[in-house]
Amino acid sequence: MNIFYEKLREVLFSVLPIVIIVALLNLTIVPVEGHLALKFALGSIFVSIGLTFFLIGVDIGITPLGESIGNAIVEKNKLWIVVASSFVVGFVISIAEPGLVILGNQIDETTSGLVTSLDILVAVSLGIGIFMILGFMRLVYNMSFQKIIYLLYGIVLVLAFFTPPEFLAMAFDSSGSTTGILAVPFILSLSLGITSRRADSEESGEDNFGLVAIVSVGAIVSVMILSLLTDVQEFTDISFDQGLRDISVLSTFANAFKDAVKESFLVFSPLTLIFIVVCVTASVPRQDIKRITIGLIYSLVGLILFLTGVSAGFMRLGREIGGYLVGLDSSFYFISIGFVLGVVTILAEPAVHVLTHNIEEITSGYVKKVTVLTALSIGVGIAIALSAMRIIINDVQLWHYLLPGYAIAIVLTRFTSKLFIGIAFDAGGVATGPVTATFILAFINGAANNHSTASILRDGFGMISMVALMPIITLQILGIFYKVKTQKKEVDLDD
């Protein structure tokens, strides 16, 4: 039971800031109807319990499975095994990521089914699987992360010229959504499992980072390619059905639960299959099989409860608040509350704490967890505020942010340390967790839905991509600071 209370405390730390902000807004500038408030309260309970079960399952089942697969791949030491295993692992772990499932549902709804949730899940998972091959090859054969990331973002830049604005936002949002509470622990455990078996494992600490960044580019590229196969002219902006407010609380949660069960079993089937294959082909101790099985059951139940709470309560009120704030005479409230939401949610994202803990551990405490969290929170707060401004200012498009932003990020790689480059690009992926992909996404979508000059497809998406970008910049700046500090210390010691 200790692990349950530990994870519940971790999750409550993640969800309570949103609940408190909603309560304060309700008491001040955003009146919330009683049934919506009740749905949000119940949704918060479902989300909290669901995330708790899900994270327990990740800890006791999915992460050990990832380490076992990583060790097995290195032990075989055969190129075809590296290629096949990395693709299957990337596909399976991506398709089961809760954040991607939620984003897929949002895209399905806002495109009136022209781009379905299944389209997004399959396309992104294929991209992740293919790019996981590259990430594994880099780890096994000690390839340069810096050169790889230059090449990958060069490809993204070329494809961006042929990608419609609507798909540009979806592509970058997919990248952020696919690296969340399931994918990050799994990918990091794979990375640690591989690098620990290398001959230079004691010197390969900086190589533990960067795999998340590489595979997340696969999501961008895959959705951009999907755009070439889709007739964008058939896209029509829709308004979210306000008639849903009149559905009873019981009916709302019953319908959400049915959908969550179907989605959860769909996305967990491949993960279960790969576990069975591992058990059959490798000598896995019976005790480990039992533990991983229990972990998968915990994660499945948790995902069902989480998706139910998100659909029935969390995202509904997020849309309502975003739409109400953007309709006020002053845009100050909308932008400033967006900044606050960014700051508090990143401090509470479970995947962020996994990454920052690994950073502090691998650097032997030299890079403090609180320092990285501070840099992340500032960056994500700015990202949400800029996304809010994009809705209000009609002439500002997503690429006006992303093009110079990634140009700055690439330039900064020339000045910061190799360790911080991997940390920064990984942080861009893990910053977009369950709270960001649910409540804040709904907050921005609701604002785009209600603003007269905004488009849900053009302006309602893209926020997640901004959240993924800003940590790359802020953490590389932090890395430059540490680099200067270290050089200064060395000079002082010489004196």
Look up residue 183 and give its two tokens.
């994918």
Band of residue 336 on the pLDDT scale cut at 50, 70, 90: very high
- The pLDDT, as a whole number, for residue 234 is 63
Ramachandran angles phi, psi of 237, nearest 5°: -65, 135
CB 390 within 8 A of CB 165: no
For the stretch 184-239, pLDDT in tens is 666 766 666 666 555 554 444 455 567 777 888 888 999 999 888 877 666 666 66
DSSP 30: -
CB 376 within 8 A of CB 474: yes
For the stretch 397-427, pLDDT in tens is 888 898 899 889 889 988 887 778 877 877 7
Intra-chain end-to-end CA distance of the chain, in Å: 55
Look up residue 394 and give its two tokens.
């009609």
Model confidence at 79: pLDDT above 60: yes
For the stretch 124-159, pLDDT in tens is 989 988 888 888 778 777 777 778 888 888 898 899
Band of residue 257 on the pLDDT scale cut at 50, 70, 90: very high
For the stretch 15-59, pLDDT in tens is 888 888 888 888 888 888 888 888 899 998 998 899 889 888 888
pTM over 0.85: no
Distance of CA 165 to the CA centre of its chain: 21
Q: Between 159 and 4, whose confidence is greater? A: 159
Model confidence at 244: pLDDT above 50: no
Q: Of the ranges 296-305, 368-377, 427-436, which one carries the lowest mean pLDDT score?
A: 427-436
Residue 221, amino acid: V
Model confidence at 368: pLDDT above 60: yes
Ramachandran angles phi, psi of 186, nearest 5°: -65, -45
Q: Alpha carbon of 216 to those of 148, 169, 171: distances in Å?
A: 13, 15, 10
Closest CA relative to residue 355, chosen from 179, 126, 147 = 179
